[in-house]
Amino acid sequence: MNRWKRWTAAALTLSLVVSLSIAGALAVSPAAPFADFRIDAARMEAPDRVLEIELYQQDEDMAFLPTDTRSEGCKINQVTGDATLYIQPNVEGVWVTVDYLTNLNGDDSYELLEGGNEPVWDSLTATGGLVRGGNEALDVGQTYILSAETLSARFDEMEKSHGRLLGIEDAVTSWPLCRVTLSRTDPADGHTYEQMYYLEIFGSELVPWDVLRSAPYCAAVEYGLARGWFTGMDDGSFGPDQPLNRSQLALVLWRVGGCQSAEQASFTDAKPGDWYYSAVCWCQQEGLIAGYADGSFLPDAPLTREQLASILQRYAKTGVPAVYVTGDLSQYNDCGEISSWAYDSMRWAVANRLLDASEGNRLRPGSSVTRAELAEALYALRSTQPLRSMVSMW
């Protein structure tokens, strides 16, 4: 079947937020579905998202070149890695294909390769297996099962293949994004109709779309999200590079501590009703974040790396006895920029791998802390010592 026609055929894009016993809801419904498609997973969501897709086709010299760029608004079925897909054709002539959308450059624009002499997509066979290329008709009433594990493994293979075909070195490893298309040509009008599902496969937890699988902070973000320490942004992103302020840190620490109640804070700029008020009260009571001489808290003030080190060291010392390893900072090129009051805390944070040096062997003590850096610091902290406030959450 011509792959370009598969792309331009009338699509019935289905929103799939279903368990095994609930049918998917049609996002666009010009006609009744001709097959059932169900998902069973520990966790799944179906957020609205606009996919930027760059289409590649093979030319006469066998090279894949970009031919079209599209923005496609759709539902993305985000599932954990234990998900299982169930497909059951209700009429004859239904076939299933799987495309693998890669994000090799990490630029949020997905590559979709169209076949030339060799197909770059998979199809589901009547025996339930996946093969490269093809459009074999499935049996009516038969339930076909695809696992997220199988699709993830195939995605990894195709991602490497796409990188070679497009000549992209040091390709980014993204979460598997598959487009599962159920197709049927109606003998009455000769038109090909499609039920199309986008499936994004994660690990044990669903993570925001801007946290790539290859990101060094991915495991830390996944860990923090699973425990409710962090939440995503309104647009579904995590914002790993966004800087943190004092109120945001207070909120995260309060969540790590179990969202406990505390006496009212005495700060002039933190009032009941503020989204961060309960967190600030608890942090003040625990002696984690101090105010300023004028009685203010300055909730919007940026947080530096040396300030984070100091706060987390105080946080660690509030728990059960633990080993506080310290290291030598003289090896770092900017060690002279560390404030005297933060020097011991920075030694502790670096030795316990809560903070790592960046390019140029610099610790950047005065630089703002990002959300990803906080996630990594808490992830490292939880593995080095059993903090009082974390014990109850394990």
Tens digit of pLDDT per residue, the chain (394 long)? Answer: 444 344 434 344 444 433 333 344 333 333 678 999 999 999 999 888 889 999 998 888 888 999 999 998 888 999 999 999 999 999 999 999 999 999 998 887 899 998 766 788 999 999 999 999 989 999 999 999 999 999 999 999 999 989 988 988 777 788 999 999 999 998 888 899 999 999 999 998 899 888 988 889 999 999 999 899 998 887 778 999 999 999 999 999 999 999 998 888 888 899 998 999 999 999 999 999 888 889 999 999 999 999 999 999 998 876 533 445 677 899 999 999 999 999 999 999 998 889 988 888 999 999 999 999 999 999 998 865 544 444 322 2
As a whole number of Å, the CA-based R_g of the chain is: 26
Do 250 and 285 belong to one domain?
yes
The upper half-sphere exposure of residue 3, i.e. CA atoms within 13 Å in the direction of its Cβ, equals: 21
Domains held by the chain: number: 2
Separation of alpha carbons 87 and 152, rounded Å = 18
Do 313 and 223 belong to one domain?
yes
Do 223 and 179 belong to one domain?
no
Do 130 and 231 belong to one domain?
no
pLDDT at 116: 65
Residue 59 lies in a domain: yes
Do 25 and 135 belong to one domain?
yes
Do 248 and 100 belong to one domain?
no
Do 262 and 367 belong to one domain?
yes
pLDDT at 26: 38
Do 225 and 171 belong to one domain?
no
Residue 282 lies in a domain: yes
Domain that holds residue 179: 3-201
pLDDT at 173: 82
Residue 293 lies in a domain: yes
Q: How far apart are the first and last CA of the chain?
A: 52
In this prediction the pTM is 0.76
Residue 211 lies in a domain: no
Parallel/antiparallel/unpaired status of strands 95-100 and 122-124: antiparallel
Separation of alpha carbons 130 and 137, rounded Å = 13
Do 29 and 170 belong to one domain?
yes
Do 165 and 110 belong to one domain?
yes
The residue among 314, 317, 310 whose CA lies nearest residue 338 is 310
Do 112 and 57 belong to one domain?
yes
